[in-house]
Chain A
Amino acid sequence: MVLNKSLRPLWSQSKHVTDIIVASRRALATTTASAEATTEESVSAKEEQKFKLMAGVILSRPPIVTPEPTAFEKAYHHYQSELYKRLSWTFPHWFYFPKGSLAENEYKRVQPQLTEDDPNVLLNRKRDEKQEIVFPPRSVQRETEESARIYAKIVPQPRKTEADEKNDITKLDRKLDRTLYLIVKKEGEFSDWQFPAAPIRKGESLEVASERVLLENGGEDMNVFFVSETPALYYKKFYKEDETYNGAKIFYLKSRIFNGMFKPQRGSQITDYAWVTKEEIESFVSPRYWTIIAPALSLH
């Protein structure tokens, strides 16, 4: 796994993550969420240390293409750009093609010759319309592979990929204009869909632990970048039938994947994984988990 640390500012690199965790725990100890009120009361009698401390990763792929504009946006931009062309200056061909040169002759030859009798025509341009410039054809005699490649018409790649058509949620090249999040499903304790997480080992910082989570679950074939050492999300989970722990506190770090693939590892107990958008996550995860993670996810 390749970790890109160059973009991270110094003050986030050198921050002691343990301080954040302690501060967050103190803050959380004083506040009780209304949704958790009933469970919180039963738990409060027990000791605070009985919560398992865990590190998680919100691994996401940022949008690759711009969102498709709506019909109204398209019409608006079309109106503006047509008006802009209508009001723009006449193309200064005398600047680009020196007087008397072959290039100038060629340029003038291919332009539409407008009649001088038309009062709307001035200097070979209709005054109430945009100027249509016709480029002279290139001489094909000197055509090489290189020039053909350069002058070939640019055709954009389709917005919908093969993975979109097959609705393959394990592929990263789907929904190119949206942020995709990685959620996993495991055997045992984490049988629900959620972001990958694992307990923090003794003496391990939050960042090191979350890097280990990615490595243990997804393997080395990923190029990822941790945005910050500051947790982007905090989730408190309660265990009903567990003698040693009352629950788990999970701190999620935000990270971005640039390239590579998430490949479930053998020892990770992962049964399934998916790259999904914000709306799709709602149908996968539990309602309580959704209410907590939703504000941390991107709309686009």
Chain B
Amino acid sequence: MAFVRPTIGLTALQQTSAAAVRSLHSSAPLLRAPVSIVDPVHHRIRYKKTILHPKYQKMLTTPKWDPRSHLFKPCDLHPRRLLKHWENTLAPDLMLANYVHNEVRIRGRKHQEWDGSSPYHVNRPKRAPAGNAEATPDILPRTFENVPNLTAIWVNTFNHGAVVDHQERNIPAMVMLQQITGKKPKPAYSGASVLQWKLRKGRQVGAVVKLTGADMDQFMSTLVEIVLPRVKNFAGIANSSGDKFGNISFGLTPESLYLFPELEGNPDLWTDVVGVNITFVTSAQTDPEARLMLSSFGIPFYGRERFHNVPSLTGAKQTRKKGIVYYENSQE
């Protein structure tokens, strides 16, 4: 490789031997080994900006995306198969399938202006949306610019054992997440104290991984081609799942997680496996569009489907709840 990462100050041999030297003066960090000498070996460079040698000053201003930067992380390791499939096959089909003639913008619930009848209305925060509900985004007409696509996959786990038993039980859960996603998870902490659940605010209750790009593609392929077809009694994701704005969630039990090849190859190693929740974050504006997109990737759905914010639906039963119009599929 043409580019060799800079090692600071000393040769590797000197650094290794210097690691054993105890030093209390300000140049101590420079004498420390630039790699962690405990397994696993992290090739991490430690430096102090203030006492950095002038010839290395340039690395402070080199942007992160530049391969010459010491912070550069290569991401495009191979062509993205799922993305190509979406671009070449799914996107044109989804655009045609979601097309609605003479479609208009559906305005979501918004914060309301004060009418200005009182002088105290000036600078007063806006009123809550109608129905005292949360504000919602507008539904825009479907064009070539907003064809639904998969944006990210969140994989998170809530470790009940760690809450009632020991905090250390989070470690195998995090390693398991890392194993099936290929990315280092971040710990998730409790936001509130709940006495009945023995939950205290600020304690670690699980872990979470956000997958994008190639990692997301890899996880999706594994899920659709290897794991889900072998899950016992798996009917699909419930049609009732979804946050109304194109994000679909479902859960996998510990038994199903053993079907991931990374765990299946060495099941004796994994004794304390906890279930995970998986959320597909899509750029679809409504849940039915997100389901259509996900099903074209090979994910099945089951149950009665309800539609909302779909403008031109004829012959379906309508119900209105909290300002959102729901349509029921009369064909099922």
**What 1/0 flags go to B175-204 for Cβ under 8 Å of A?**
000000000000000000000000000000
Q: How far is the CA of A6 from the CA of B315 in the complex (A)?
A: 19
**Number of A-B contacts defined by CB within 8 Å:** 130
Check B12 against A96 for contact (C-beta < 8 Å): no
Q: How far is the CA of A9 from the CA of B4 in the complex (A)?
A: 54
Q: How far is the CA of A127 from the CA of B33 in the complex (A)?
A: 13
How many chain-A residues does the 8 Å CB contact rule pick out?
A: 51
Check A11 against B100 for contact (C-beta < 8 Å): yes
Task: Please classify the interface of chain B as helix (H, G, I), strand (E, B), loop, or mixed, using the class held by over half of its residues.
Answer: loop
Q: Pick the contact of B96 from A81, A123, A232 — CB < 8 Å?
A: A232
Q: How far is the CA of A67 from the CA of B85 in the complex (A)?
A: 10
Judged by a CB distance under 8 angstroms, whether B323 is at the interface is no
Q: Which residues of A contact B100 (CB under 8 A)?
A: 11
Q: Which residues of B contact A15 (CB under 8 A)?
A: 101, 312, 314
How many chain-B residues does the 8 Å CB contact rule pick out?
A: 56
Check B40 against A77 for contact (C-beta < 8 Å): no
Check B79 against A69 for contact (C-beta < 8 Å): yes
Q: Pick the contact of B88 from A73, A89, A300 — CB < 8 Å?
A: A300
Check A119 against B12 for contact (C-beta < 8 Å): yes
B217 to chain A, nearest CB (A): 12
Check A87 against B43 for contact (C-beta < 8 Å): yes
Q: Pick the contact of A228 from B5, B41, B97 — CB < 8 Å?
A: B97
A5, closest chain B residue (CB) = B331
B184 to chain A, nearest CB (A): 10
**What 1/0 flags go to B285-322 for Cβ under 8 Å of A?**
00011001001100000000101001011111000000
Check B79 against A73 for contact (C-beta < 8 Å): yes
Check A122 against B76 for contact (C-beta < 8 Å): no
Q: Which residues of A contact B89 (CB under 8 A)?
A: 62-63, 179
B85 to chain A, nearest CB (A): 8
Check A128 against B4 for contact (C-beta < 8 Å): yes
Of A7, A19, A76, A254, most buried by chain B (CB within 10 Å of CB) is A7
Check B16 against A20 for contact (C-beta < 8 Å): no
Check A89 against B1 for contact (C-beta < 8 Å): no
Judged by a CB distance under 8 angstroms, whether A83 is at the interface is yes
Judged by a CB distance under 8 angstroms, whether A35 is at the interface is no
Of B67, B78, B288, most buried by chain A (CB within 10 Å of CB) is B78
Q: How far is the CA of A179 from the CA of B312 in the complex (A)?
A: 31
Of B72, B89, B316, most buried by chain A (CB within 10 Å of CB) is B89
Q: Which residues of B contact A92 (CB under 8 A)?
A: 39-40
Check A80 against B76 for contact (C-beta < 8 Å): yes
What would 21 A/B residue contacts be, using CB atoms closer than 8 Å? A7-B296, A10-B316, A10-B329, A11-B310, A13-B331, A15-B314, A23-B101, A63-B89, A66-B79, A66-B85, A67-B84, A67-B88, A81-B78, A87-B43, A89-B40, A89-B42, A92-B39, A120-B12, A228-B97, A298-B88, A300-B87
Check A122 against B37 for contact (C-beta < 8 Å): yes
**What 1/0 flags go to A263-300 for Cβ under 8 Å of B?**
00000000000000000000000000000000000101
